[in-house]
């Protein structure tokens, strides 16, 4: 069986003081990586700061014989966190964008602050850390990045409009970076995890949480963070010991003569075809998307080369 090892690699895990990130950090160190354990040590809804949170995970790793250092900056200051990894370990190979907070509220009660806090930490935080790590990964011709999305982003969830938007934004960021990073061996994948943590302790029953250990998400993240993984731009649902890959599905097209106009009534006639997904396919790139429209419209639809 192929062994998944991280020897000689430097991993940065954001929000690694609790929950999923803590589990990743410990597992990475156990597989040979040097780990920068980042955590602001704040409150679940944002705000606050406690450097002992990251340090406690470092202490656990070191006492188990691993190598780790603590960093207490916010992901909003991503450059400082990456610099800290470079200062401690001289390079950065793996970045797990994991830090997160929640500000749930029904949309009609959601304040601008609820929206902004979520976007600052999740989407902008991941942007800041990734932007700082990116040139180092490109230059060394090696990088593994994991973004943390959520089922709330993929499917929507009541009371989480802010979080859903930011989480699917992270998937969009990952998809563009997967394309830009591929030629430099910088691979970018996304997970939508489910696990017991302080973010889920109030929304799921105790007996369910008991089964959903963070350690049941970690093996996927280990694999995506390793040299063994050669895939990029993929999205996975993971939790409770299950791992599944998600992709887009496009229904068979309902097509009209592009040289004339068509009416909503004509479209309505074919509405059930769109809803049925009979004869569907799975576009994976913008080129796949354009190909269908171009074919029906009788034009060569493609992006100008970059
Ligand atoms: P958690 O609350 O146990 O861990 C998140 C950590 O991020 C905390 O230790 C917190 O101090 C840290 N953090 C918060 N803001 C930070 C900042 N600005 N800078 C640095 N660190 C910061 O939560 P959990 O569940 O382990 O969440 C990890 C990630 O997984 C989050 O992105 C969350 O949105 C995502 N997620 C979790 C799910 C679950 O079922 N637990 C479901 C879907 C997504």
Q: Is 181 in the pocket of ligand 1 (CB under 6 A)?
A: no
- Note the pLDDT of residue 293: 87
Q: How far is the CA of 91 from the centre of ligand 1 (A)?
A: 25
Residue nearest to atom 24 of ligand 1 (CA): 19
Tell me yes or no: is domain 10-246 CATH 3.40.640.10.
no
Best residue for ligand 1 mutational test, from 199, 209, 236, 238 (most atoms within 8 Å of Cβ): 199
**Closest approach atom of ligand 1 to CA 239:** 40
- Note the pLDDT of residue 53: 97
| Residues in the chain, pLDDT under 50 | none
- Run of H or E including 186: strand 186-194
- Note the pLDDT of residue 304: 72
As assigned by CATH, the class of the 247-306 domain is mainly alpha
pTM of full prediction above 0.75? yes
Cβ–Cβ < 8 Å for 274, 251: yes
- In sequence order, the β-bridge partners of residue 170 are none
Q: Is 225 in the pocket of ligand 1 (CB under 6 A)?
A: no
Q: Is 186 in the pocket of ligand 1 (CB under 6 A)?
A: no
Catalytic positions are 163
- Note the pLDDT of residue 59: 98
Phi and psi at residue 38, in whole multiples of 5°? -100, 135
| Measured CA distances, 66 to 52, 60, 154 (Å) | 18, 9, 36
Cβ–Cβ < 8 Å for 24, 12: no
Q: 295-301 long-range CB contacts below 8 Å, 24 or more apart?
A: 296/253, 296/255, 296/258, 297/258, 298/258
C-alpha to C-alpha distance for 292 and 298, rounded to whole angstroms: 10
Q: How far is the CA of 199 from the centre of ligand 1 (A)?
A: 7
C-alpha to C-alpha distance for 271 and 120, rounded to whole angstroms: 40
Tokens 């599905």, residue? 249
Q: Is 145 in the pocket of ligand 1 (CB under 6 A)?
A: no
Strand 34-38, strand 10-13: pairing: parallel
Q: Tokens representing 161?
A: 């409009």
The domain limits of the chain are 10-246, 247-306
- Note the pLDDT of residue 302: 77
C-alpha to C-alpha distance for 133 and 81, rounded to whole angstroms: 9
- Note the pLDDT of residue 174: 98
- Note the pLDDT of residue 295: 86
Residue nearest to atom 33 of ligand 1 (CA): 100
């Amino acid at each position: 069986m192929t062994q998944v090892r991280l020897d000689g690699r430097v991993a940065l895990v954001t929000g690694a003081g609790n929950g999923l990130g803590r589990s990743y950090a410990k597992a990475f160190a156990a597989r040979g990586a040097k780990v920068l354990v980042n955590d602001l040590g704040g409150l679940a809804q944002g705000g606050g700061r406690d450097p002992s949170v990251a340090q406690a995970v470092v202490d656990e790793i070191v006492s188990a014989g691993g190598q780790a250092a603590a960093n207490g900056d916010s992901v909003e200051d991503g450059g400082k966190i990456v610099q800290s990894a470079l200062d401690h370990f001289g390079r950065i190979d793996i970045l797990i964008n994991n830090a997160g907070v929640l500000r749930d509220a029904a949309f009609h009660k959601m304040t601008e602050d609820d929206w902004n806090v979520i976007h600052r930490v999740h989407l902008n935080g991941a942007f800041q850390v990734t932007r700082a790590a990116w040139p180092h990964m490109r230059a060394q011709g090696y990088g593994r990045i994991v973004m943390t999305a959520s089922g709330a982003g993929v499917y929507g969830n009541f009371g989480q409009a802010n979080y859903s938007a930011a989480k699917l934004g992270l998937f969009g960021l990952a998809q563009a970076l997967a394309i830009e990073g591929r030629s430099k061996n910088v691979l970018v994948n996304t997970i939508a995890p489910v696990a017991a943590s302080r973010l889920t302790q109030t929304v799921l029953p105790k007996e369910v949480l008991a089964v959903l250990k963070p350690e049941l998400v970690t093996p996927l993240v280990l694999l995506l963070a390793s040299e063994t993984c050669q895939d990029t731009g993929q999205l996975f649902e993971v939790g409770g010991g299950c791992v599944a890959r998600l992709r887009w599905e496009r229904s068979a097209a309902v097509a009209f003569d592009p040289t004339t106009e068509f009416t909503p009534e004509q479209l309505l006639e074919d509405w059930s075809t769109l809803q049925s997904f009979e004869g569907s396919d799975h576009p994976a790139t913008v080129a796949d998307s354009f190909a269908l429209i171009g074919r029906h419209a009788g034009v060569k639809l493609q992006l100008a080369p970059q």
